[in-house]
Amino acid sequence: MKSYIEPEFIVERDQDKCIRCKVCVNQCTYDTHYYDSEDDIVCSHDENCVNCHRCVVFCPTRAINIKRNPTQYTENQNWSREVITAVKNQAETGGIILTGMGCDKPYYTYWDRILLNASQVTNPSIDPLREPMEIRTFLGCKPDKLDLELESNDLVLMTKLAPQLRVETPILFSALSYGAVSFNVHQALARAATEYGTFMNTGEGGLDRRLYKYGDHVIVQVASGRFGVSPDYLNVGAAIEIKIGQGAKPGIGGHLPGEKVTEDISRTRMIPTGTDALSPAPQHDIYSIEDLRQLIYALKEETDYTKPVSVKIAAVHNSAAIASGMVRAGADIIALDGVRGATGAAPRIIRDNVGVPIELALASVDQRLREEGIRNKASILVAGGIKNSGDVVKAIALGADAVYIGTAALVAMGCTVCQKCHTGKCPWGIATPDPWISKRVNPDIATRRLVNLLSGWSHEIKEMMGGMGINAIESLRGNRLMLRGVGLTETELKVLGIKMAGD
Amino acid sequence: MNTITTLNNPYGEDKVIDACGLFGMMDLTGRRFGSKAPVKAISNMHERGNGLGGGFAVYGLYPQHKDDYAFHIMYLNRESKERADRLLAQSFDVLHAEEMPVNLAANVWNPPMIWRYFLQPKNIAENQSHDEYVVRNVMRINTDTCGAFVFSSGKNMGVFKGVGFPEDIAEYFCLGEYEGYLWVCHGRFPTNTPGWWGGAHPFNILDWTVVHNGELSSYGINRRYLEMYGYNCTMQTDTEVMAYALDLLMRKQKLPMEVVARIMAPPLWIEIDNMEPKEKHLCTMLRQCYSSLLMNGPFTIIAAHNGEMIGLTDRIKLRPLTAGIKGSMLYLSSEEASIHLVSPHLDKVWSPRGGEPVIGRLKTLKTVEVLTPGVRK
Amino acid sequence: MDDQKESSHIKVKNGVATINAMNMHYRNLNSLIKAHNNPVKEIHVRKVYGQRYIGTGLKGSMELHLYGTPGNDLAAFMDGPTVYVHGNAQDGVGNTMNSGKVVVYGHSGDITGYSMRGGKIFVRDDVGYRTGIHMKEYQDVKPTLVIGGSARDFLGEYMAGGIILVLGLNLPPGQRHESKFVGTGMHGGVIYTCADMAHLGKEVAVIPVDENDVHVIQGLVKEFCGYFNFDFDEAMKRKFVKIAPVSHRPYGRLYA
């Protein structure tokens, strides 16, 4: 049937500037640009353009501009362009509309309504460039007290600490599955994590053997599809993460479209090429909280209790109670993924409507664990749209031990958040398994970019801490007196556990 | 405990901020001495206070009652005394009760009624801790009586404090008539609680007293961590959090002060990374497990309990502290001049390093310079 | 403060004034000293116990001898006179001092020489934390700080000019100064030392001294030994090095 859907974007090419180098034609993976040799002119199929800016950035003469299609439906707050197009799409296909990346709707981002304190007079601020400023963090289960005994005039430590992850900065790379992203991306994440002293997370697609050598800086994930979960895999990482859900699509399983299941993916995930790699919605051996405990200890037994076990959930309505259960089930780390968490592919309706903002979930989980006296038993990691170091500082002040960044890491490597990851055609070489196109991510350069990002954010974190008169991150963690809200209702302030600015 | 919180923090600020002068003096043989020298020393640091708070803690104060819990209670109104007396009678054998002898001519501001009691717990189970019992009852009185505030509750020691310069507070409470082997003194410069006597330092829990100078930038998390262990931080002051931290770590968890100092004022990672393996392991574990009790921001504290006086500053020494020794006397002071004033020919005078405690123990002197071998003359 | 009271605390004889500062508030003491600044060339103050700001706002060239323990901010903003402390000093000695001299027969506390712009400070024993922060110089106006013993952490933080000399005379041979973050943020000036420092700021490095340095060091050591009766030759037997900034703009690449 004829499609009634109009192009979202229009390609504008300045023909005076265009030198017919055809870089745009070669770079575009969506067949948007083509060269008409007869007329010696480069033209575009506007309807294919996804606004990824690959051509814009690489055009040597900056001749290309991508614009929103100026032809708009009549203004309507309820029936927006997105909504109308979705209905027409479903009328034409009868299917679920897929998308990539994280929720883009104008729901409140609470980070932007929270402000930080600084020291004035009663307490000196500290200069991180010249005085010590410590952001080293340990993730894992901590005891409530240490037992020391006196043995022949010497104090001996009797307590044995559960395994910990040591991070030199409270920023880790979030789960990005191999398949959703290319091998070069996984490699860059592993190398950058190793170089900076933090960790990357394999996501649910397993770990390519070529990256086993970075194992000490890898958190291996065990998701419902159990892709790539071999004994070697479990033992090579520094920690294991059980994925119950993720912020982009709480309650449903992972989704890797068949287009992205290539030979390498097939080998690592142990599924046939070209088939859709679907992860089941639940982990089929976890139907209740005691089952979670069972899986956690199965993994601990497999690894001889040498690695922390993390459990990742999407932030949903009863996160506090669920987290409490998870801690009591033996999780060493709780990972919370908020509604803005990103993904390689998810139904758009779920991405945008299911889940809660991470700020609120974090605040209630941290508070609940303290009320129950079990906050020491697990570290809290948060994810879901963390976009700058200000968000990181605010997250830690609310109670997180560290944050996971996903989208930010991809943007650092070139991603422009065009939300078309599910097509597998990412022209930046990031969200594609195509061996030719994924070469566009140069692992050396990508590693550099990621390390730069971590470095820039870490310096900024230190500046903000110093401004508050704090020189060790343990004094920021959970210190909600350092936060104030603006433009928030009383209930929001109450849930966040912070006061209003000026109060 | 709304009354206490509203009184101490009338503007509902995150916490109470004040500036201070500290002095401590202890005879390590346990010989008791009078108030003249401590009062002279603390009043010499006049500039550090503003007359709106002064206080003293005296140890070895009540030798005739040395096994009884000595409660000092201030009453804001008659009704609260009636309620408090009822609660006391329920939980304790009241061996002696009297209005605190005071000198009304002293220059102090609006003193409340203050009584003194000597008590023994009653109706207490065999294996129940007397100390825990007392702490719970103190918290009960402070919460449920709407106006009674127990500001001292240890054995053979007592706190005297109020609104006035330290020398005037000393005169008010007739401190000239008492003797003790350990005196801790404090002069305060509060910013938001001018009228209330309970707001002065020292802060007390059982026989622990803490006087404090500085401000904790980590207060927000120190408090939340202690609340997890059942401590109700109603005064909303740094001193309160310090005292509860010491109570939790030293009384309940039985950790020695040398370890507690490394929890509250830990060495830097660059120092830990270069330590010997055993030391490194201990310091790393302490930072991992007790991270929420790291006291960040400038502080000097003088803490005392029966038999021990402890001086400690923050890990990068943002507040002053000088220690001095003459024979069996140990001195701790915010400013060195005060020590010389009361003891002109000291054997040794020095400034401890940031994060390293000076601990005076009855019958021994222990000066802990754990991380750095070079000791002053 | 009337004349009668004043005369009971101060005696003047042969151009030398003696003050008994016992129980005297610092305002009275300082105004008394200032009042006698010009007429008298030497003032001796006895029984000093913590009075602050002694020497602040004093100009001229008189000699001030203090017996006891002067309080915080001794010689703060001072411009010219020489102060001798026969005892220990507290925090803030020479705070933003413009010119003049302070000689301490003992130790001094934290924040010694903060923002010094000229003049000299000699301390016989140790100094505390944050000594010599942001000392400055211009052409030949160079503040100098000579320490007979050791300094604590953050020595010379943000230093922009001037000279610090650490002699370590009370250190056992071969032992280092337990000072960390020495010269952190330093971008001018120089620190001379003969024993190693435990830890240096990232902006500085240890380099050998040249002829000019040796000349400067000798002059200062001579002056130091003169005040405190140390043997010059013994002191000069030590090998000196200098700690200096390696870049003018150490944070140039830090900003995007």
Give me the CATH number covering residue A325. 3.20.20.70
Q: Please tell me what DSSP assigns to residue A431.
A: S
Mean pLDDT computed over every residue of chain C: 92
Which residue among B270, B335, B351 places its CB closest to the CB of C50? B335
User: Is the CB of C185 less than 8 angstroms away from the CB of A127?
Assistant: yes
Contact B214, B314 (CB under 8 A): yes
Q: Which among B245, B242, B243 has a CA at the least distance from the CA of B206?
A: B243
Q: Which amino acid is at A209?
A: R
State how far the Cα of B321 lies from the Cα of A193, in Å rounded to an integer: 43
User: Is the CB of C199 less than 8 angstroms away from the CB of B353?
Assistant: no
Residue A280 and residue A393 in one domain: yes
Q: Which helix (H) or strand (E) holds A319?
A: helix A319-328
For residue B176 the two structure tokens come to 């000239």
pLDDT of residue B36: 97
- Which of A62, A78, A95 lies at the terminal end of a domain, its last residue? A95
pLDDT of residue B366: 53
Average pLDDT over residues B95-118: 95
Q: Which helix (H) or strand (E) holds B39?
A: helix B36-44
User: Is the CB of B374 less than 8 angstroms away from the CB of C153?
Assistant: no
Q: Which among A176, A167, A98, A65 has a CA at the least distance from the CA of A392?
A: A167
pLDDT of residue B162: 94
- Per DSSP, chain C holds a count of helices (H) and strands (E) of 4, 12
C138 touches chain A (CB under 8 A): no
**Residues B219-239 pLDDT 10s:** 999 999 999 998 988 888 899
Residue of C nearest to B369 (CA): C178
Between chain A and chain C, how many beta carbons pairs sit less than 8 Å apart? 17
Residue A330 and residue A432 in one domain: yes
Residue C256 lies in a domain: no
- Structural domain boundaries enclosing A63: 9-95
**With contacts defined as CB-CB under 8 Å, which chain A residues touch B291?**
142, 474, 477
C69 touches chain A (CB under 8 A): no
Pairing of β B322-326 and β B329-333: antiparallel
**With contacts defined as CB-CB under 8 Å, which chain A residues touch B259?**
148, 155
Residue B132 CB neighbours (<10 A): 14
Which residue among C90, C150, C154 places its CB closest to the CB of B337? C90
Task: Give how far A397 is from chain B: nearest CA, Å.
Answer: 9
Number of domains in chain A: 2
Average pLDDT over residues C125-149: 94
User: Is the CB of B44 less than 8 angstroms away from the CB of C50?
Assistant: yes
State how far the Cα of A329 lies from the Cα of A334, in Å rounded to an integer: 11
Q: Which of A116-125, B161-170, C164-173 has the lowest mean pLDDT?
A: A116-125
Average pLDDT over residues C103-128: 96
Residue C226 lies in a domain: yes
State how far the Cα of B145 lies from the Cα of B270, in Å rounded to an integer: 50
State how far the Cα of B16 lies from the Cα of B8, in Å rounded to an integer: 8
State how far the Cα of C70 lies from the Cα of C48, in Å rounded to an integer: 6
Number of domains in chain B: 1
State how far the Cα of B3 lies from the Cα of B141, in Å rounded to an integer: 12
- Structural domain boundaries enclosing B343: 2-367
User: Is the CB of B373 less than 8 angstroms away from the CB of C50?
Assistant: no
Chain A neighbours among C 145-164 (CB < 8 Å)? 154, 157-158
For residue B325 the two structure tokens come to 């020794």
Q: Bridge partners of C125? A: none
Give me the CATH number covering residue C125. 2.160.20.60
Number of domains in chain C: 1
Residue B376 lies in a domain: no
**With contacts defined as CB-CB under 8 Å, which chain C residues touch B353?**
152
Tell me the three state secondary structure of residue A309: strand
Q: Which among A434, A495, A471 has a CA at the least distance from the CA of A135?
A: A471
Cis bond before residue B202 (omega within 30° of 0): yes
User: Residue B376: is its pLDDT beyond 70?
Assistant: no
Contact A378, A334 (CB under 8 A): yes
Instruction: Write out chain A's pLDDT in tens, 503 residues.
Output: 899 999 999 999 999 999 999 999 999 999 999 999 999 999 999 999 999 999 999 999 999 999 999 999 999 999 999 999 999 999 999 999 999 999 999 887 999 999 999 988 778 899 998 889 999 999 999 999 999 887 777 888 889 999 999 999 999 999 999 989 999 999 999 999 999 999 999 998 899 999 999 999 999 999 888 888 888 899 999 999 999 989 888 888 777 778 788 888 888 877 888 887 777 878 878 888 888 898 999 999 889 999 999 999 999 998 999 999 999 999 999 999 999 999 998 999 999 999 999 999 999 999 999 999 999 999 999 999 999 999 999 999 999 999 999 999 999 999 999 999 999 999 999 999 888 999 999 999 999 999 999 999 999 999 999 999 999 999 999 999 999 999 999 999 999 999 999 88
Residue of A nearest to B13 (CA): A503
Q: Which among A190, A120, A189 has a CA at the least distance from the CA of A467?
A: A120
Residue A386 and residue A476 in one domain: yes
User: Residue C6: is its pLDDT beyond 80?
Assistant: no
DSSP string covering A334-362, please? EEEE-TT---SSEEHHHHHHSS--HHHHH
Chains touching B (at least 3 CB pairs under 8 A) are: A, C
Q: Would you call B20 a catalytic residue per the annotation?
A: yes
Rounded (10°) angle between helices B78-91 and B130-144: 160
| Max Cα–Cα distance, chain A, nearest Å | 94
Give me the CATH number covering residue B168. 3.60.20.10
Give me the CATH number covering residue A90. 3.30.70.20
pLDDT confidence tier of residue C112, bands split at 50, 70 and 90: very high
First-to-last C-alpha distance (Å) of chain A: 61
Residue A494 lies in a domain: no
- Find tokens 């046939």 and name the residue: A272
pLDDT confidence tier of residue C248, bands split at 50, 70 and 90: low
DSSP string covering C199-235, please? -B-TTEEEEE--HHHHHHHHHHHHHHHHHHT--HHHH
pLDDT confidence tier of residue B191, bands split at 50, 70 and 90: low
Percent of chain B beyond pLDDT 90? 75
Chosen for mutation from A366, A377, A471 (greatest number of chain B CBs closer than 10 Å) is A471
Tell me the three state secondary structure of residue B96: strand
Burial code (b: 16+ CB inside 10 Å, e: under 16) for B309-321 equals: bbbbbbbbbbbbb
Residue B304 lies in a domain: yes
Average pLDDT over residues C159-180: 94
Residue A465 lies in a domain: yes
Residue A231 and residue A371 in one domain: yes
pLDDT of residue B2: 58
Q: Which amino acid is at B64?
A: Q
State how far the Cα of B281 lies from the Cα of B303, in Å rounded to an integer: 27
Residue A366 lies in a domain: yes
Contact A207, A179 (CB under 8 A): no
Q: Which helix (H) or strand (E) holds B161?
A: strand B157-162
Residue A448 lies in a domain: yes
For residue B191 the two structure tokens come to 């910013």
C122 touches chain A (CB under 8 A): no
Residue A189 and residue A70 in one domain: no
